[in-house]
Structure 1
């Protein structure tokens, strides 16, 4: 199986194993005065596939605070991300690819970004991989659940908090060998049909809220298996303690994180249950 970087970029947004198909979960117990809600996101999706169910809207409206992986309402977060696009060690992609791969990458960037590899040569490989993934979605307009909820929180004057910093999230990929990231990037371009097919399947499963199917699909990806602890498990355990404190504070929280953080034995759902909370799926219906 191709070790697609797509699996790493969307693993945190997709791989969940639950008995019932749902993206929304009600959290109660431990003497909470009012319920909070947990929602699994996908970080980028075509506009025509973007849906927010009425039950999700109602849960969000009840919440006093929005909690996400990053505080996207903070202008400093986006500014910090912009300063970290280049490889911190100054490495150049052109020095780590063959002549044929250089031409392939240069052609992709020229056709999609309007300028070739010389402009992007110093970027971190996973940033370019995200560009490839966005292109392979195959739609003119993409939507972000994080962006949507941030906008709604600001309109409704809700507090917004983040579970992690930009430095931490970029540091995750710094722990994955550079050459391996380059390999994943090139494989996504060298076998476009397979990479797009995998991405399309993931999106279909997400839209269908088929968490079990998503979990099985991602679990079959070698690259994902190699970095499960780094991308998901270790972060989930850190979030467990932070979310416990958040849930015990006055008010109600709407927690929106990549759906891959929800399921499995080290997922947020199980970790909250381990602390004594009841975490129950909310049945949703698609609303146009």
Structure 2
């Protein structure tokens, strides 16, 4: 999903409701306590890919990595089995153009060649996920880094345990289910709008503005309601169940895309409904 771009956020310590939408404090990092936990756990919102010049791993996140026993991401990329399964799934994906009729295929091929500089052979073999990654890289136009990878590298240096909330193969399957060929082609045509959206997301991330990140990350223009249900809401519910089991065993820092944290079906609200105290960490 192009909105690889996601966080948690910081500001006040109270939660209010405006137009029925929960407004959360500005912070990228949140503490989870109560409900039988012996030690605090934490959740940090991330952007999966961003420009190197925009990336900062804040001192407060680094301190929490020192404090916890476990670092759990959406997918445990330290597990070689995960990498193998992801590679297999990627290799098995069908070319995007093979699912289109001749008129739509011709339109897509011309668009990819003219806008993204792909050759005919590259167009013929590109997958839906490959195309979305290509779109993001073109929009960023910079040397990119992965927040997740940076967290993993620091966690490995500090000898932390690692886990995942789901498997990479499951992510790919959900992506293919959520984003039809027609939906991807529709978004491909929104080049200027998409670039503006991504720029705003990066700015909101740097400002730790969770509410703005949720608003941008769930913009119906890029994430229709049916896609949001598959890519955010349903996964959030499954993750919260698994988080509860993990936190009882080890103090954990969970790192997930920022759009997963806000909203009525966001991870923070779902944890609170389970009886946990979830509070922003400012320093």
Tell me if 1:122 matches 2:125.
Answer: yes
Instruction: Check 1:150–1:276 CA distance in 2 against 1; reply closer, same or farther (3 A cut).
Output: same
Q: Tell me by how many angstroms 1:108 deviates.
A: 4.5
- Give the structure 1 partner of residue 236 of structure 2: 236
Alignment of 1:43-192 (within 5 A): 43-86=48-91, 88=93, 90-93=94-97, 96=100, 97-110=104-117, 116-139=119-142, 141-176=143-178, 178-184=180-186, 186-188=188-190, 192=191
Distance in 2 between residues matched to 1:78 and 1:27, nearest whole Å: 30
Alignment of 1:207-226 (within 5 A): 207-224=206-223, 225-226=225-226
- Give the structure 2 partner of residue 206 of structure 1: 205
Tell me if 1:31 matches 2:36.
Answer: yes
Distance in 2 between residues matched to 1:163 and 1:218, nearest whole Å: 20
| Aligned 8 A contact 1:107 1:116 in 2 | no
- Give the structure 2 partner of residue 5 of structure 1: none
| Aligned 8 A contact 2:4 2:49 in 1 | no
Gaps of 5+ in 2: 10-21
Q: Cα deviations across residues 170-190 of structure 1 (Å, max 9, x unaligned)?
A: 1112323633244135314xx
Distance in 2 between residues matched to 1:43 and 1:108, nearest whole Å: 24
| Aligned 8 A contact 1:105 1:117 in 2 | no
Alignment of 1:229-268 (within 5 A): 229-249=229-249, 251-268=250-267
| Aligned 8 A contact 1:125 1:181 in 2 | no
Q: Tell me by how many angstroms 1:161 deviates.
A: 0.5
Count of residue pairs brought into register by the alignment: 267
Q: Tell me by how many angstroms 1:100 deviates.
A: 4.5
Report 1 or 2 for greater relative contact order, CA contacts < 8 Å, sequence distance ≥ 6. 1
For normalisation by structure 2, the TM-score amounts to 0.85
118-127 or 159-168, larger mean C-alpha shift: 118-127
Instruction: Check 1:33–1:18 CA distance in 2 against 1; reply closer, same or farther (3 A cut).
Output: same
Gaps of 5+ in 1: 1-7
Q: What secondary structure sits across from 1:38 in the alignment?
A: strand
15-24 or 149-158, larger mean C-alpha shift: 15-24
Q: Tell me by how many angstroms 1:21 deviates.
A: 0.8
Instruction: Check 1:232–1:92 CA distance in 2 against 1; reply closer, same or farther (3 A cut).
Output: closer
- Give the structure 1 partner of residue 2 of structure 2: 9
For normalisation by structure 1, the TM-score amounts to 0.84
Q: Tell me by how many angstroms 1:44 deviates.
A: 0.5
